[in-house]
Amino acid sequence: ADLLFQTAKDAGLEYDCVCGVPYTALPLATIICSENQIPMLIRRKEAKDYGTKRLVEGTINPGETCLIFEDVVTSGSSVLETAEVLQKAGLKVTDAVVLLDREQGGKARLEECGIRLHSVCTLSSVLEILQQQGEVAVEMVEKVKKFIQGNVFEPVAQNGPAPVKRLCKELSFSARAELPGVHPIAARLFMLMEKKQTNLCLSADVTSSKELLQLAAILGPSICILKTHIDILNDFTQEVVKELRMLADRHEFLIFEDRKFADIGNTVKHQYEGGVFRIASWSDVVNAHVVPGSGVVKGLKEVGLPLQRGCLLVAEMSSQGSLATGDYTKAAVQMAEDNSDFVFGFISGSRVSNKLEFLHLTPGVQLQTGGDNLGQKYLSPEEVITRKGSDIIIVGRGILSASDRLQEAEKYRKAAWESYVSRLGVGA
């Protein structure tokens, strides 16, 4: 926090208030504001459906200048999202200060949008220091530089074509976050996966609220998504999901309620919005079968779209004898493309769409391949990510049955992430 404040001071920046990009930069901004008596604004990622329902909390004086603080900048998208919300509230945003600039085009992109980026340090300077101190080998430095060069965002002139990343053999998650038309939930997920270096989804199939919250608290830093079956909890209350939501925000993972909606539009609309569970009020992501036709997506979309939620379609299943194959899978892909403002990916055993805006999540993953006596087939993280082209592994029993769940989760996280890096063609 002191380094960020000093960088702003050294640059001679003039501003009336401060806003930290949610959520990692919020405590940094809080320290800066409390120690230097500067007014602070808090930007929410989504408006609550109660209280003030505002996206920006704090005293807003239209016309004043707000300085943005961030921890890491890759493409600049998080800073731009925050700036847009502040500007809509009537504030001016001319500068942003970041702890680490990864030098992947974020600075240039921000400048294209009228925002100057000031960094405490850059990735190249950090690498140089680590190399000089003998902490990082020359070969690794070159590999990192090569990776960055292959994943640099290239801004284009205003009023020109939609901005895209420079294509390489396989786009990184952060590059895919910048593709035209990518769903906001997908963009958020791509960026947090890159930031946390995890493409692990935990399938928290437990029946106790206490155990569910313990899993979220302990394994939260290791995962990008927590998948729930909320209807199997023996002691469900709204307080449980309220606390789960807080843990998700703290550890930066998405909540995915594995409801597998499969009814007519009007019915799923009520199932999603109301009932005992009120799923739409707390879950970032839900999923649906395509058996009922497009009505199931339209019904869910009526509820989820205004709340900035997202949906996955079940295109394939990992159980033996599954009927979700062939024409069924093709129909799921077509339905996703027709509803890409709400659907952002698939539950599948492999990559079923070549559109990189879509994410693929694969269940039935264990470090040891095989199956169980109920027809579940298990594949390894390497098989799923490297060979089948999926993006995220979904793991349940492989972690939950371990004596040390955190240690086991880290094994899966590392295996999946290394497979992803290998797919990019960059040394792990």
Question: What is the set of active-site residues?
Answer: 260, 263
Say if residues 179 and 187 touch (Cβ distance below 8 Å).
no
Residue 97 CA to residue 161 CA, distance in Å, equals: 28
Residue 310 CA to residue 421 CA, distance in Å, equals: 26
Say if residues 309 and 284 touch (Cβ distance below 8 Å).
yes
Say if residues 42 and 30 touch (Cβ distance below 8 Å).
no
DSSP states of 359-410 as a string?
EEEE-SB-SS-EE-TTSBEEB-HHIIIIIS--SEEEESHHHHTSSSHHHHHH
Q: Counting Cβ atoms within 10 Å, is residue 31 exposed (0-12), middle (13-18) or buried (19+)?
A: middle
Residue 316 CA to residue 217 CA, distance in Å, equals: 31
Phi-psi sector, 53: left (phi>0), alpha (psi -120 to 50), beta: left
Q: Cα dihedral angle (21, 23, 24, 29), rounded to 10 degrees?
A: 50
CA nearest neighbour of 152 among 103, 101, 81: 103
Residue 157 CA to residue 146 CA, distance in Å, equals: 26
